[in-house]
C-alpha cells in the first residue's frame, strides 16, 4: 500500500512539474515573441525614417499602410504592408518590403523607397546571411554602397543598365562578391517595376493586388 502511495505521489509530482514547466515555456515563448516583434518594429521604423526623414512628412508611416501580395516581383506570397509617406495629404513616396531570394547565403530582406515620380528614394537591407567582409557590404552599417541606388530609375530607356557592372549595368559590385549586390540591385529593379504597374493603387490605395 505504501509503495502504491509513493508511486502515486511521485507521478503527481512529475505531472505538476511538467505542467508548471510547460506553462513557463509558453510564457517565455510569448514574451520572447513579443520582444522580437517589438525589436523588429523599432528596426523597421528606423529604416523607414532613414529613407524618408520625419521632418519631410506629416504622417506616421507605420500607421499609413496598404496591404498587397506580390510573389513574382517582390517575393511575397502572403499579404504584407507597403508604407506611405505623405506631405499635406499627398503621398510623396511609398516604401515596399522586398525579398531578394537569390543572395549568396539565402534570402535578403529589404525595403525599397520609391518617390512619386518613380525614382529610388532609398534602399535598406533589414536582414541577411551574407558573408562577413564581402556580401554584408549591402548593409549600411558596413558600407555606403547601398546609397548608390538613391535617385536611380529603370524606365524603359534605362532598364538594360539597371544591373551590376558585371552584367553590363551601372552599379558597382564588390571585389570577390558579385552575387549579393546583384541580388539587391535586381530586387530593387523589380520593386520599381511593381510601383510602375501599380502606381495608382499605391498612391491612393485601398489594396494593391498581385501583379
What band does 167 get if pLDDT is binned at 50, 70 and 90?
very high
Mind listing the pLDDT tens digit for each residue in 118-164? 999 999 999 999 989 888 999 999 999 999 999 999 988 888 899 99
Measured CA to CA, the distance from residue 180 to residue 192 in angstroms comes to 19
pLDDT for the residue 205: 55
Percent of the chain with pLDDT over 90: 55
Measured CA to CA, the distance from residue 180 to residue 57 in angstroms comes to 32
The vertex-79 CA angle with 74 and 83, nearest 5°, equals 70
pLDDT (mean) for 88-115? 94
pTM for the full model?
A: 0.79
- Residue positions counted in the chain: 211
Taking 60 as the threshold, does the pLDDT of residue 211 lie above it? no
The pairing of beta strand 106-115 with beta strand 90-103: antiparallel
pLDDT for the residue 204: 78
User: If you compute the radius of gyration of the chain from its CA atoms, what whole number of angstroms results?
Assistant: 23
- The x, y and z cell numbers of residue 151, run together, are 535617385
Amino acid at each position: 500500500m505504501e509503495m502504491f502511495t509513493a508511486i502515486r505521489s511521485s507521478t503527481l509530482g512529475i505531472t505538476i512539474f511538467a505542467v508548471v514547466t510547460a506553462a513557463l515555456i509558453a510564457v517565455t515563448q510569448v514574451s520572447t515573441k513579443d520582444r522580437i516583434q517589438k525589436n523588429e518594429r523599432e528596426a523597421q521604423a528606423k529604416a523607414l525614417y532613414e529613407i524618408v526623414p520625419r521632418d519631410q512628412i506629416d504622417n506616421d508611416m507605420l500607421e499609413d499602410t496598404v496591404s498587397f501580395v506580390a510573389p513574382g516581383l517582390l517575393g511575397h506570397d502572403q499579404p504584407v504592408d507597403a508604407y506611405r509617406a505623405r506631405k499635406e495629404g499627398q503621398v510623396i513616396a511609398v516604401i515596399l518590403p522586398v525579398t531578394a531570394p537569390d543572395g549568396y547565403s539565402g534570402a535578403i530582406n529589404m525595403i525599397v523607397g520609391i518617390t512619386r515620380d518613380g525614382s529610388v528614394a532609398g534602399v535598406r537591407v533589414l536582414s541577411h546571411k551574407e558573408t562577413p567582409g564581402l556580401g554584408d557590404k549591402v548593409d549600411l552599417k558596413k558600407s555606403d554602397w547601398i546609397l548608390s541606388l538613391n535617385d536611380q530609375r529603370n524606365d524603359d530607356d534605362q532598364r538594360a543598365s539597371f544591373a551590376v557592372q558585371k552584367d553590363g549595368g551601372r552599379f558597382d559590385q564588390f571585389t570577390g562578391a558579385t552575387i549579393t549586390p546583384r541580388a539587391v540591385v535586381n530586387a530593387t529593379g523589380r520593386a520599381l517595376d511593381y510601383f510602375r504597374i501599380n502606381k495608382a493603387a499605391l498612391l491612393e490605395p485601398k489594396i494593391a493586388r498581385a501583379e
